[in-house]
Structures are given as C-alpha cells and as structure tokens.
Amino acid sequence: MLRARFRTLCVVSLLALHASLSCQAIPVTWRGEDRAVDTLNGEASVALPVLKAWLPFATEAKCRLVLTDDARVMLVLCETYARRVPKKENNDVEAMLGLVRNACAVTDRIFPPPQGAPPLVVVGIRTADYPKLLAQMVKVDARLQDWANGAGQAVNGFILSDPLIAAWVDDPAGLEEWYPQNELVHRTAQLLIRRRAAQLPTWF
C-alpha cells in the first residue's frame, strides 16, 4: 500500500514538474527564430510581461506565440499555424506577419505609434479552445468576468479596447466562407486605432 502511494506521489510530482518545464520551454517566434522568452532583449524586451502572461494559456491550448519584428503585435496562434518543418516558417504565418506589418504602416499614417508600448495581442483560436481563451481573458483582467460569462460566449471572436486584445475563431461552425487573414487584418487595425483613439464613432 505504501509503495503504491509512493509511486502515485512520484507520478504526480513528475507530471507537475513536466508541466512547469513545458511552460518554461515554450518558445516565442521572433524575427524568424524560435527563442526562449527569457532570452529576448532589445526591442523585444518591452513584450516580456505580455509574453509571460500568455505562456500558461499557450501551453494549455497548444498555441504558438509569434512576435512581430518590431514587437508591436503578438500573435497567439492555434495548432493550425504550427511549423511543419523545423526552422521553416508556416506559409500562412509568413503571410500574416506581412499583413500585420502593412496594417501598422497604414494606421501609422493616421496615428503615429506610441514609443515603448507593450504589444497588442491578437489570438487565432479553435472553437474547442475558445472557453479556455475566455478563462484567460479573466486572468488578464478580472473586470471581464461578467463579459466572459455572457456576451463573450455568443460570438466568433472579439475586439476589446481595454485590455487591447482581439481574437477570431479559426473554425467557426455554420460559415461557408471564412478568411482568417481578413479577420487578422481587421482586428489588428482596430486595436492599433483603439490604442490611440479608444472611443470609435458608431459608423467605424
């Protein structure tokens, strides 16, 4: 009996240790390379608090963390966008980074970007993991509890002004035409503008 309990305790301890190490080992993709979060420096250092806040969620939902070259936007992407070959980027992710860069360039003509601001967060999540995302939103900001329990459950994504986080559902049910890249551009542009002008007119 004691031996069995000891084995059980050992298994539980090893699982906890594995989960902890897995969380620490999840890399962030920045400038084409997968890097340990704690090794980021220079322009990317401003993103560290945001990256660390999203690491546990990324681990649980098996998402990737992808930071734009200028560290202005962090993409949290579901397994659909995993790298198929080590050191070779997913073509869709390359295209998305280009679209985000273009969205930044266009909005910067209207609203110059703030200096030293943490990255905006844009999430592409599968339907099955959407409840986990809502739980993560409450961890990010406890004020979102009522929203997460109500309105947040009845949508295929969202765009929030405070905190500046947006998401789309990558595999929404009942829609024949759904273009994740369009969702990415729309949500990124909205966040970029809301950062400088949070109260948008009703016609926007």
Q: For 28-73, how does the pLDDT look when each residue is reduced to its tens digit (9 = 90+)?
A: 999 999 999 999 999 999 999 999 999 999 999 999 999 999 999 9
Confidence (pLDDT) at 58 = 97
Helices assigned H by DSSP within the chain: 2-25, 48-61, 91-108, 130-140, 145-149, 180-196
- Specify the pLDDT at position 13: 40
> What is residue 199's predicted lDDT score, i.e. its pLDDT?
62
How far, in Å, CA of 168 to CA of 184, rounded? 8
Q: How far is CA 101 from the centre of its chain?
A: 16
Contact yes or no for 119/131 (Cβ under 8 A):
no
What is the pLDDT, as a whole number, of residue 150? 94
Query: d(Cα 3, Cα 141) in Å, to the nearest integer?
Result: 44
Q: What is the per-residue pLDDT for 25? A: 58
Q: What is the pLDDT of residue 9?
A: 37
Best CA proximity match to 104, nearest among 192, 6, 15: 192
| Cα 84 to Cα 37, 80, 89, 91, distances in angstroms | 21, 10, 8, 10
Instruction: Write down the pLDDT at residue 77.
Output: 98
- Segments in the chain below pLDDT 50: 1-23, 202-204
Q: Is 21 helix (H, G, I), strand (E, B) or coil?
A: helix
Alpha carbon 66 to its chain's center? 8
According to the model, what pLDDT value does residue 85 have?
A: 76
Contact 159, 191 (CB under 8 A): yes
160, β-bridge pairs: 165
| Six token digits for residue 105 | 């360039």
Residue 196: per-residue pLDDT: 87
